[in-house]
Structure formats: structure tokens, C-alpha cells
Amino acid sequence: MMYPLVLCSLIAFGVLLAKTWTLAIAHRDSKRLLGEIEELGVGGRLEDAIDTAETTRGPVAAILLAGLRRLRDRSAGARADGADVQKAIATTGVIELDFLERGLTVLGTIANVAPMLGFLGTVIGMILAFEAIEIAGQVEPGLVAGGIKVALITTASGLTIAIPVNIAYNYFVTRIDRLILDMEEGAQQVLALIWSLEDKSGQGAS
């Protein structure tokens, strides 16, 4: 059973590296971006806000970009509608959230399966140890102890893999929850910008 345990550890290590890099990129400069977009939007520099969102990586930038592009339709003759912008933001948010959560199922599965594989290896090892005792026809302490020791190695290996993977899983979930809050904050900023532009256009028409 050590072969599937080693395979689980390699897969978990690869996913951990990928998720760490992805979330680091997603978190980086999110607060700065929100502040810049709000400042540019309030100042009426919509194209600059779009350029800033386009050159920034991460789900927060993607959501802001989706909303700002809808706002830009105003200049093309199409009036920006709050519901339309909100739908675009929601669609982008679902796509980005799915991307952020990718790989978490693998980590959760490994965290649950690795200990069971270890216990299964221990059971198989105990069966083989008792089979060796049966063949020998007598109970030798060295034979029993050696068999049990080898059998317990798989349990220790399974737990060694599962514990850090489970910790990493919970850590990633917490980081993603924080990103979701940032994404919602960005969406609210775009919607607030829409209403402010609508109010200005309404006042201008009156």
C-alpha cells in the first residue's frame, strides 16, 4: 500500500504548489486595485480604470473589468443598465470562483483517503504476519514484532500525508473566503459607480 500512498503524496504536493501560487497571485494587490478603480471611476477616467483592471491578474480584477466594460457601452450609445452589469459581474464571479476552488476536491479526497489506505496497509500487514506465524508453526517474538512494525509503517505514512494536507485544505478555504469578500466589495464598487453616473446623467438631462 505504500505505492498508492506515495502517489497521493506526489499529487497533493503538486496541487499544494499550484494552489499556493494561484492564491498568491489572486490576493496580490487586490486592495490596491480596489482603491485605484474607485478613484479613477469617481474621477470619470473610465478608460484608465479599464486599462488598470486589464493589466492586473486575479479574480477581483476580472470582476471589475466585466463591470467596467459594461459601463463603457454607454459611450457606444448603449445605456448601462444596473441589472445587466450585475448579471455580467455575477457570471464572471461564478467563473472565477470555480477557478479558485479547482483542486480543493483533490486535496479533500487525499486527506480522507490517505489514512484509510494506511489502515488498509496495516490490516494487510497483520494478515501477512499471522500467516508467517502459521507457516512457522510457532510464535516467535522477533517474527511477530517485525511484521507488526512493517504493517504500522503504512498507517504512519497515511497520517503523515493526511495531516498537512488537511491543514492546507482549510487554509486555502479561508484564503478563498477572503477573496470572495474582496470580489463582492469590487462588485459593489462598480454598481455604486453606475448609480453615481446615472444620477449625474439624470441631473444633466434635467
Query: Are 53 and 35 in contact, with CB atoms under 8 Å apart?
Result: no
What is the rounded CA–CA span in Å between residue 133 and residue 147? 10
Domain count, the chain: 1
Q: Which DSSP string corresponds to 111-173? A: HHHHHHHHHHHHHHHHHHHHHHHHHHTS--HHHHHHHHHHHHHHHHHHHHHHHHHHHHHHHHH
> Which amino acid does the sequence have at 14?
G
Domain membership flag for residue 166: yes
Domain membership flag for residue 203: no
What is the rounded CA–CA span in Å between residue 58 and residue 17? 17
Q: Which residue did the predictor score with more confidence, 26 or 198?
A: 26
Domain membership flag for residue 67: yes
Q: What tens digit of pLDDT does each residue of 169-203 get?
A: 999 988 888 877 777 777 777 667 666 665 555 55
What is the rounded CA–CA span in Å between residue 175 and residue 178? 5
Q: What tens digit of pLDDT does each residue of 73-113 get?
A: 655 555 555 566 677 777 777 777 777 788 889 999 999 99
Q: Which domain holds residue 6?
A: 2-198
Domain membership flag for residue 44: yes
Q: Which of 95, 103, 99, 98 is nearest to 169 (CA)?
A: 103
Domain membership flag for residue 123: yes
Domain membership flag for residue 205: no
